[in-house]
Structure 1
Amino acid sequence: MSDSGFGDFEFERKFFVRELPAVATSDPSPALIVQAYLFAADGYAVRIRLQGPAPDTLDGTPAALVQRLGEDAIGTMTAKGPAAGGTRYEAERNLDPMVAGQIVSRAEHVVAKVRYSAWLGEDGWVLDRFLGGNAPLVLAEVERGSPVVDLTIPGFCLTEVSEDDRFRNEYLAHNPFGDWAAAYGRELDLLGANFVNTLGHNDFEGSTPPRHG
């Protein structure tokens, strides 16, 4: 949720990453996020999230992961609207972590991931390594308090998925990446990399990758 005066809106861009980059190891305290989607349709979603320091053991059911988060977890409830041009309505409110954990433990559509944070250039980035049925998906996100324009894109970002609804967490909760990872790999090999070109100038770390569309 933005604190910049834009109210309940988030401004982010999201990228597909082949594997977790070394920069993720610079985060001394990655977070485990377990979140359930109580409703998701046409870009609108209601999410319950429990988040806390990542434990040593990251396997097991969502209910088991919730138990491992312990007393330091933070609970939130979030309503989201459809995204357009890297902007999405997002109203987030605190929720009692015990209540959040009980809801997530009982929910049908759940996403679990480990989040690493890193400061790259002028931006703070997060790298999400998904667990369970969404493994081995890794996504990189950059968020600002206003539209993310004139961005320097790290070399580990293979292609941008900011406008690909398949990589929204609510979609992944219903259609785990593991079920279509191979098909997406073939699609990426066929079509090549694609980056949004309507948000200012993209600078690419290292050599400029091929861009399509």
Structure 2
Amino acid sequence: MSESGYGDFEFERKFFVDELPAVAASDPSPTLIVQAYLFGADGYAVRIRVQGAAPVDLAAQAGELVDALGDDAVGTMTVKGPAVGGTRYEAERELDAQIAGQIIRRAVHVVVKARYSVWLGEDGWVLDRFLGGNAPLVLAEVERGGPVVDLEIPAFCVSEVSEDDRFRNEYLAHHPYGSWAAQYHRDLQRRGPVFVDTLGCNRFADR
């Protein structure tokens, strides 16, 4: 539960990134996340996740990567609601990591990603490099305890996808990015980048 006074709601904005930026290397201990979506429809989702320190070799299958996380892995179950204006209901509880791992091994719709955490300006950012069928997708995300307004957007953020449901993990679990990446790039080239303009004043780092 959030400690910001907003209860089980999270406030975030998400951006498409062409490739993992060099600043990701400043995270000395990236995290490996393996998560299964047991349900996902109309913005509602139920997620089981196991995460821990990322191994050096990230080329293995999801089940093998769960094994590689070792005894320090953390398991969680999360229920999510639809996102509206950068706000989304999210209630999470901890699970036994071994039980969570066994559920993931039996799941059909799984997402695997390496997460890098960096501090840029006034905000902490995470950079997610997706693996498997969702490679080579990279997304940047910033989260706050309240609405993400007046944001300084780093130069590596190509276009905002906060309101594009295709970039939600539950969608990616069912429709891997690799199967529609070419179409997305064509659309992006045709229309140009977009950024949400209803959350205060966007500030852009030198591009």
With the shorter chain as reference, the TM-score category is over 0.9
Runs of 4 or more consecutive aligned structure 1 residues displaced over 6 Å after TM superposition: none
1:184 match: secondary structure: helix
Deviation at 1:77, TM superposition (A): 0.3
| TM-score calculated relative to the size of structure 1 | 0.96
| TM-score calculated relative to the size of structure 2 | 0.99
1:174-208 Cα deviation digits (max 9, x unpaired): 0000011111111110010000000000000014x
Match of 2:148 in 1: 148
Match of 1:121 in 2: 121
User: Pairwise mapping of residues 1-213 of structure 1 onto structure 2 (< 5 A)?
Assistant: 2-207=2-207
- For residues 139 and 168 of structure 1, the distance between their equivalents in structure 2, rounded to whole angstroms, comes to 10
- For residues 43 and 2 of structure 1, the distance between their equivalents in structure 2, rounded to whole angstroms, comes to 20
- For residues 57 and 157 of structure 1, the distance between their equivalents in structure 2, rounded to whole angstroms, comes to 27
Q: Give the aligned residue type for 1:77.
A: M
1:24-43 Cα deviation digits (max 9, x unpaired): 00000000000000000000
1:37-63 Cα deviation digits (max 9, x unpaired): 000000000000000000011112211
- For residues 120 and 3 of structure 1, the distance between their equivalents in structure 2, rounded to whole angstroms, comes to 22
* Sequence identity percentage: 74
Deviation at 1:159, TM superposition (A): 0.2
1:76 match: secondary structure: strand
Q: Give the aligned residue type for 2:174.
A: H
Which stretch of structure 1 is more off in the superposition, 117-126 or 61-70?
61-70
2:172 match: secondary structure: helix
- For residues 155 and 119 of structure 1, the distance between their equivalents in structure 2, rounded to whole angstroms, comes to 14
Match of 1:211 in 2: none
1:155 match: secondary structure: coil
Q: Give the aligned residue type for 1:191.
A: R
2:69 match: secondary structure: helix
Unaligned runs of 5+ in 2: none
1:10 match: secondary structure: strand
- For residues 171 and 45 of structure 1, the distance between their equivalents in structure 2, rounded to whole angstroms, comes to 10
Q: Give the aligned residue type for 1:19.
A: E
1:173 match: secondary structure: helix
- For residues 4 and 133 of structure 1, the distance between their equivalents in structure 2, rounded to whole angstroms, comes to 36
1:14 match: secondary structure: strand
Q: Give the aligned residue type for 1:17.
A: V
Deviation at 1:73, TM superposition (A): 0.4
1:96-126 Cα deviation digits (max 9, x unpaired): 1011111111110000000000000000000
Unaligned runs of 5+ in 1: 208-213
- For residues 186 and 150 of structure 1, the distance between their equivalents in structure 2, rounded to whole angstroms, comes to 29
Size of the aligned set, in residue pairs, is 207
- For residues 2 and 68 of structure 1, the distance between their equivalents in structure 2, rounded to whole angstroms, comes to 30
- For residues 20 and 59 of structure 1, the distance between their equivalents in structure 2, rounded to whole angstroms, comes to 17
Deviation at 1:3, TM superposition (A): 2.2
